[in-house]
A = this chain, B = another copy of it.
């Protein structure tokens, strides 16, 4: 519900609609804020675990791991077209949330970023990314990603996630003669290459 309708509407529903007596709710959580933070922490961990599943998969080249995560996210969004990313929803609501939320959101984004940064370093070590690619790329990935999730929700399709990803890695892919040859058959790798 939080990923569909956001914090404030969920909190109203928690109190009004859900089949949990208020006493039980407040026995478990000292406040709605505490409940929201617990859900956010669980979501952050769940998502970090999901990222690890894809990004630590040594059997696959680093950028392919990222691509697999993007495909997986797109499949999820096409199955549940009304859901977004909880962190993205809360980012949008951030100015209206209790003061504790922005810090937690930043910490979760930092945890996700460190995972992508590690994967990009491995891509760099493998020569798939330019050796001078900025360490800030991992942060930029998530900055734009939340926009792509919003757009995917609007058009109820994974296409914006794929478009974003198509653009992202190719802009930092090392150009080699072999890749040049491959790209002649596939327009994506060449579209951001330097001519």
| A residues at B contact (CB < 8 Å) | 4-6, 8-9, 81-82, 84, 88-89, 91-96, 102, 105-106, 109, 130-134, 136-137, 139-140, 142-151, 153-155, 160, 163-164, 166-167, 171-175, 187, 190-195
- CB < 8 Å neighbour of A130 from B84, B91, B144, B194: B194
Query: Is there an interface contact between B5 and A96, defined as CB atoms closer than 8 Å?
Result: yes
**Chain B contacts for A9, CB-based, 8 A:** 8, 96
Determine whether the beta carbon of B133 is less than 8 Å from that of A192. Answer: yes
- Is the CB–CB distance between A137 and B167 below 8 Å? yes
A88 to B143 alpha-carbon distance, docked (Å): 14
Minimal Cβ-Cβ distance residue in B for A91? B150
CB distance A148 to B143 under 8 Å? yes
Query: Which residues of chain B are within 8 angstroms of A142 by Cβ–Cβ distance?
Result: 147, 151
Contact check, A92 vs B96: say whether CB atoms are below 8 A apart.
no
